[in-house]
Amino acid sequence: MIAYDDFAKTKANYVPLSPISFLNRTADIFPDRLAVVYNDRQYSWGEVRTRCRRLASAIKNKGLGRNDTVSVLLHNTPEMFECHYGVPMAGCVLNTINTRLDADTIAYIIDHGESRLFLVDRELYSTARSALEKSKLKPEVIVIDDKSADTQPDVNWEDVIEYEAFLNDADPKFPGEHPEDEWQAIALNYTSGTTGRPKGVVYHHRGSYLMSMGTVASWAISMHPRYLYTVPMFHCNGWGHAWTMTLMAGTIICLRAFSPEAFFRLAGEHNITHFGGAPIILNMLAGADDSIKPTFTHSVKAMTAGAPPPASVLKAMAEAGFDVMHVYGLTETYGHVLQAAAQDDWAGKTIEEQADLQARQGVRFTNTEDVSVLDEQGQSVPHDGETIGEIMIRGNVVMKGYLKDKAETQNAFENGWFRSGDLGVIYPDGYIQLKDRAKDIIISGGENISSVEVENTLYKHPAIDVAAVVAMPDEKWGEVPCAFVELTAGESATEAEIIAFCKSNMAGFKRPKKVVFGELPKTATGKIQKKQLRETAKSLS
C-alpha cells in the first residue's frame, strides 16, 4: 500500500483558512482601487487595510487576544466594516449586536459573551450606557462619532475613547494575527431570541472563508462588483458579504439606514451591481414611485432571504430589471445554504411561472455539503412536493455550536445533521421549498395549514402590500389562521373581501378566519415579528 498519508503538515503546504487573507491579497494587488464609500468619505483598499491594522493594533494594546470578545453596536458604516477585519486580526472574536435590541438584552449579551471591549455608534450611546448600567461586566467603550447621524446624544468623553483617536494611537503597519487553527472562533452572533434569551452562535474562520468562496461561485460574482450594503452587518455578519466583496476587490457602498429613496439615490450614483435584502425590502423597492428609480445600464443582482418571498414580489422585481436570487439559511449556518438556482428551461416560462419556481428555497450552495428534508424517523421524505419534513443541513458552514449551552448544541446536532427547525418539502426536481417554521404550522381540526401558503395567497390580492399569518386559538378547531395585512397606498379592502378572495384561491379550511389591518412589527432586517402577532392573535380569540 502506498503511504499517501505519510506526510507532515508544514507552513509551506498548510495554512488555516481565514477571510483575513482576502484583505491582504486585495490590498496588495489593488491598493488604489476604491473600497468603501460612505457619504463624503472614501477609502481605497490600501487605506482600508491600514485602518484595519490600526484597529487590530489598538485592540492588542488593550491586552486583548485569542478568544476575547469584542462587542459592537454599530450601523452599516466604514467602522463596522473595519471591525470585520480588525477584530479577528487581533485574534479576538467579533460580536455584532442588533441595533434594535433593548438595553436589558444587550446587557445579557455583554455578560454572556464576556465582552472585553464595546464599540458603539454615538447615536446608540444612550442605549449602550443603559445596558452597561444593567450588565455585570463593564467593558471599555469606544464611540464612533458619525456626524451624519440623525441624532447626536451627549457623550461624556472623559469616560470613553473616540474611535479615530483609538486608531491614531496604534501601529499602521501591525501585520495582524492569522489564526493558528481554522476552527478558531471568528464571530459570536446572537439569535433573535424569539423564545426566551437569545442563543450565542459561534462561527469559525474556516466557515467564514468557505461561505465567501461559495457565495462567489453560487452568485456568479465577477471581479470588482459595486455592492450596496443594505443587509445590516450585525445580521450573520451581513451574510458574510463584507468578506466576500473584499475577496472580489469590490466597492462597498455603506447605507446607514434603509429607505427606498436612500437606496435608489446611492444605487444610481454608484451604478451598483449587487445588493441583498429581505423580501420586505424588495417589496418596498418594487412599490416605490418610478420618479426616484434610476436607469441602470445592466441588470442589478439582488439576493433575498429571511422569509419565503411572494411570487408577486419576485415578478415585480423581474419586471423592474432586477435579477433576484432567492436563498435560504439561518444564523447557525453563516447565512445562506440553499439557492433557487435557475435551470435553462426556466427562460421559456412566463414571468409568473418563473417567479413561482424562484420562490422555492432551492438546492444547496456550493459551500454546503448536503441539505435534506427528513421525517421523524430520520428518513428522506418522498420527492412529491407535498410530504412535509424538517430541513436538515450538514457541512463546513454550520456553526461550532451555542456558546455555554451544551444541551441546546446537542439538540441542534442529530445523527450527523443540523436541525433547522424549519419544515419543508422536496419536489421531483430535487428543489426544496420551506413550508413553515415548526412553531408556525397551524393545526386546525387535525389538519396542518402552512402559514406561508396562506400568506402567498394573500399577496396575490391587489390591495395587499405586506401580509403575515399566525395561529389564533379557536374553541371548535383548536386554532385557525389569523391574517395581519398592510394595504398598498391608495388601495382599500374589507375583511370579508379578503377572506372571500382566499377561499376562492385555496382550500376553504385554510382561509383566514380573521383579518387585522395595520402596520406589521418588523425586525431591523425586515423580518415580520410573528411572536408579537401570535400574542395579538391570542387576545383576539
The answer to whether the CB of 146 falls within 8 A of the CB of 113 is: no
Q: Are 142 and 124 in contact (CB under 8 A)?
A: no
For 192-198, the CB contacts below 8 A with 24+ separation are 192/98, 192/523, 192/527, 193/105, 194/529, 194/530, 194/531, 195/439, 195/531, 197/105, 197/108, 197/112, 198/105, 198/108, 198/109
Q: What is the mean pLDDT of residues 305-329?
A: 80
Segment 169-180 shows an average pLDDT of 95
Q: What's the Cα-to-Cα distance from 74 to each of 148, 151, 160, 237, 239, rounded to whole Å? A: 14, 14, 16, 12, 16
Residue 40: exposure state from Cβ atoms within 10 A (0-12, 13-18, ≥19):
exposed
Whether the CB-CB separation of 328 and 279 falls below 8 Å is answered with: no
Average pLDDT over residues 260-266: 95
The tens digit of pLDDT for each residue in 274-296 reads 999 988 788 889 888 888 988 88
Instruction: Check residue 250 and give its pLDDT.
Output: 98
Predicted local distance difference test score (pLDDT) of residue 452 = 81
Q: Look at residue 446 and tell me whether its pLDDT is greater than 70.
A: no
> Domains (ranges, CATH) in the chain?
45-204 (3.40.50.980), 258-438 (3.40.50.12780), 441-540 (3.30.300.30)
The answer on pLDDT for 193 being more than 60 is: no
pLDDT at 308: 59
Quick one: what percent of the chain has pLDDT higher than 90? 71
Judged against a pLDDT cut of 80, whether residue 195 lies above it is answered with no
pLDDT at 109 over 70: yes
Average pLDDT, the chain: 92
- Res 309 pLDDT > 80: no
- The whole-number pLDDT of residue 524 equals 60
Looking at residue 400, its pLDDT comes to 98
* Residue 288: per-residue pLDDT: 87
Residue 194 confidence (pLDDT): 42
pLDDT in the model for residue 196: 62
Please, which pLDDT band fits residue 529 given cuts at 50, 70 and 90? confident
Task: Measure the CA–CA gap between 394 and 381, rounded to whole angstroms.
Answer: 17
What's the pLDDT at 312? 75
Tell me, what DSSP letter sits at residue 116?
E
Q: Which helix (H) or strand (E) segment is 139 a member of?
A: none
Q: What is the pTM of this model?
A: 0.85
pLDDT per residue as tens digits for the range 31-71? 999 999 999 999 999 999 999 999 999 999 999 999 999 99
- Please check the confidence at residue 5 and state whether its pLDDT lies above 60: yes
pLDDT-wise least confident of 13-17, 163-167, 280-284: 280-284
Of 28-42, 389-403, 492-506, give the lowest mean pLDDT range.
492-506
pLDDT at 126: 95
pLDDT (tens digit per residue) in 62-87:
999 999 999 999 999 999 999 999 99
SS (H, E, C) 34-103: EEEEECCEEEEHHHHHHHHHHHHHHHHHCCCCCCCEEEEECCCCHHHHHHHHHHHHCCCEEEECCCCCCH
Q: Are strands 251-254 and 226-229 parallel, antiparallel or unpaired?
A: parallel
